[in-house]
């Protein structure tokens, strides 16, 4: 049997981390089995589905690299198919028209609740043939009255539900639209889905869906219901915990590799390994190794992984991702050093690519002002001479390399008879605008002599203005 998995989000919001993890598990399983991964957009809820949300899901999947082999399919484009099958079930006596009004239904529910019973449709129209011709009706699936449904869930093990617990589900509303559980079943069948990997919030739907599949004569897929993701405080993950949208992680400066690695470990393990390349995930992944308990989100670990990948991925890959952040800030990289070189000296100073871009703009554009505190401390009249001298020694460097730049700075300090700091700190503030940068030899090495001279002059003017005010 060939493996086909799917991710079937409802486009009612962004792609959140829970959905992304489900998508990842589903994708990994398909990849690990040489199978196919289907993307299906479940947009039948016309009121809650939006174009932006559809796009956000596609963007999120693409950013994570969770490419689909088939789709995206849209349920709204498949209404004819659902209707045809509903008609077929009606014709075969496996579904029936229900003329019960919502008021009647509410009244029954209230009564059941008052008796402490679980609200359920009592099958009123299941066998009736006295159909009115002028009243709206819903179509219900004739759920078997006896027997049980057994699910051998890859994560939760054997689950057995008695049919007596299930009522006759509406498969077509009175406005003629097919309902969620029916569309899912038809799609999983038509798309030849062999393994349904989805959130545990759907576990109650599964026995109903299996009954409908059986009625249609469709094969029953295997199931894996993935547990929830909780916030670091043990509560259901929500916006209160910070970013929950996958694209927010991109915006915040995380690498997709870090997010994937983070998500895969949120509920799945392979020995005590923490770092997985995508190839390794595919190689080791198995549905049966997904844990049953809810996993708590841990931002510190995600940051740790992000730092790891910023330093260990091919420099060109990190550079491409980092460029996006410079673009967001309208920083033009033309004329400046290769981004790879900047990343090499800045990556271990930051947690994210966004931060990296923020602290690296001085390589690409002049800053408007010196950092106030740093300037106050280091661009003082006493620094004038140090700056003038180091400018001269730097300008005299012939081979522009960290080694020669370092020597020129030492030479300036020596000739003034002062410690390195007395030269280095004013120089650092002059050239980078702040008191924080990697060591000056490697930092200056990425800037041109002309640019450095210009910025030292600017610092000298700043000091002069300060003297005069």
Active site residues: 239
The answer to whether 9 contacts ligand GLU (rule: CB under 6 A) is: yes
Nearer to ligand GLU among residue 10 and residue 163 (C-beta): 10
Residue 225's closest CA among 277, 317, 157, 281?
157
Compute the least distance from the CB of residue 47 to ligand GLU, in Å. 15
The answer to whether 354 contacts ligand GLU (rule: CB under 6 A) is: no
The answer to whether 455 contacts ligand GLU (rule: CB under 6 A) is: no
Nearer to ligand GLU among residue 46 and residue 368 (C-beta): 46
Single out the segment in contact with ligand GLU by CB under 6 A; choices: 2-10, 161-169, 287-295, 336-344.
Answer: 2-10
CA dihedral of residues 90, 95, 100, 105 (deg, nearest 10): -160
**Other CB atoms closer than 10 Å to residue 394's CB: what's the count?**
23
Measured between its terminal Cα atoms, the distance across the chain in Å is: 82
Compute the least distance from the CB of residue 287 to ligand GLU, in Å. 15
The two counts, helices (H) then strands (E), for the chain are: 19, 12
Residue spans of alpha helices (H) in 271-401: 278-284, 299-312, 315-328, 339-346, 353-358, 372-378, 383-395
The answer to whether 10 contacts ligand GLU (rule: CB under 6 A) is: yes
The answer to whether 42 contacts ligand GLU (rule: CB under 6 A) is: yes
The DSSP bridge partners found for residue 95 are 141
How many residues bind ligand GLU, per CB under 6 A? 7
Compute the least distance from the CB of residue 140 to ligand GLU, in Å. 20
Residue number, nearest CB to ligand GLU: 198
Single out the segment in contact with ligand GLU by CB under 6 A; choices: 3-11, 120-128, 139-147, 422-430.
Answer: 3-11
The answer to whether 8 contacts ligand GLU (rule: CB under 6 A) is: yes
Nearer to ligand GLU among residue 195 and residue 198 (C-beta): 198
Residue spans of alpha helices (H) in 200-255: 205-216, 246-251
- Of 31, 154, 195, 198, the one binding ligand GLU (CB under 6 A) is 198
- Of 126, 156, 202, 404, the one binding ligand GLU (CB under 6 A) is 202
Write the CB contacts of 162 (distance below 8 Å, at least 6 apart in sequence).
147, 148
Compute the least distance from the CB of residue 209 to ligand GLU, in Å. 8
DSSP, collapsed to helix, strand or coil, labels residue 6 as strand
Residue 459's closest CA among 433, 436, 440, 420?
433
Rounded Cα distance, 350 and 357, in Å: 10
Tokens of 260: 């994937």
x/- letters, 169..188, toward ligand GLU (CB under 6 A):
---------------x----
Compute the least distance from the CB of residue 115 to ligand GLU, in Å. 32
Rounded Cα distance, 245 and 248, in Å: 5
The answer to whether 43 contacts ligand GLU (rule: CB under 6 A) is: no
Compute the least distance from the CB of residue 22 to ligand GLU, in Å. 8
8 Å CB contact between 216 and 185: yes
Site for ligand GLU, rule CB under 6 A = 8-10, 42, 184, 198, 202
């Amino acid at each position: 049997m060939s493996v086909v998995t799917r991710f079937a989000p409802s486009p009612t919001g962004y792609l959140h981390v829970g959905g992304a993890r489900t998508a990842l598990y589903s994708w990994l399983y398909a990849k690990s089995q040489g199978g196919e991964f289907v993307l299906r957009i479940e947009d039948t809820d016309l009121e809650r589905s939006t174009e932006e949300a559809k796009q956000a899901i596609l963007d999120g999947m693409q950013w994570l690299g969770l490419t689909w082999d088939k789709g995206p399919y849209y349920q709204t484009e498949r209404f004819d198919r659902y209707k045809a099958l509903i008609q077929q079930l009606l014709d075969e006596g496996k579904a029936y028209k229900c003329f019960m009004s919502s008021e009647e239904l509410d009244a029954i529910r209230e009564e059941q609740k008052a008796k402490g019973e679980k609200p359920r449709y009592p099958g009123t129209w299941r066998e009736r043939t006295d159909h009115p011709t002028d009243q709206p009706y819903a179509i219900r699936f004739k759920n078997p009255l006896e027997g049980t449904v057994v699910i051998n869930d890859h994560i939760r093990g054997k689950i057995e539900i008695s049919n007596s617990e299930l009522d006759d589900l509406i498969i077509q509303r009175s406005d003629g639209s097919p309902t969620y559980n029916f569309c899912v079943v038809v799609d999983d069948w038509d798309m030849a889905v062999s393994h349904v990997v989805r959130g545990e919030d759907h576990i109650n739907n599964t026995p109903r869906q299996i009954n409908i599949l059986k009625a249609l004569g469709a094969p029953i897929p295997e199931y894996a219901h993935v547990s929830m993701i909780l916030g670091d405080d043990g509560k259901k993950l929500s916006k209160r915990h910070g970013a929950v949208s996958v694209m927010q992680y991109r915006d915040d400066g995380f690498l997709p590799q870090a997010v994937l690695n983070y998500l895969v470990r949120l509920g799945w393990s392979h020995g005590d390994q923490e770092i997985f390349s995508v190839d390794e995930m595919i190689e080791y992944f198995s549905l049966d190794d997904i844990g049953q308990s809810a996993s708590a989100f841990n931002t510190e670990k995600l940051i740790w992984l992000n730092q790891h990948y910023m330093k260990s991925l091919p420099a060109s890959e990190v550079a491409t991702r980092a460029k996006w952040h410079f673009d967001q800030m309208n920083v033009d990289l033309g004329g400046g050093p290769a981004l790879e070189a900047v990343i090499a000296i800045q990556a271990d100073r930051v947690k994210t690519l966004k931060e990296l871009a923020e602290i690296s703009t001085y390589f690409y554009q002049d800053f408007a002002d010196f950092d106030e505190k740093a300037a106050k401390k280091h661009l003082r009249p006493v620094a004038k001479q140090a700056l003038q001298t180091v400018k001269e020694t730097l300008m005299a460097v012939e081979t522009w390399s960290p080694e020669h730049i370092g020597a020129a700075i030492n030479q300036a300090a020596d000739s003034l008879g002062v410690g390195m700091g007395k030269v280095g700190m004013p120089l650092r503030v002059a050239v980078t605008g702040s008191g924080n940068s990697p060591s000056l030899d490697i930092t200056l090495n990425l800037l041109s002599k002309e640019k450095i001279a210009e910025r030292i002059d600017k610092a000298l003017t700043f000091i002069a203005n300060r003297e005069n005010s």
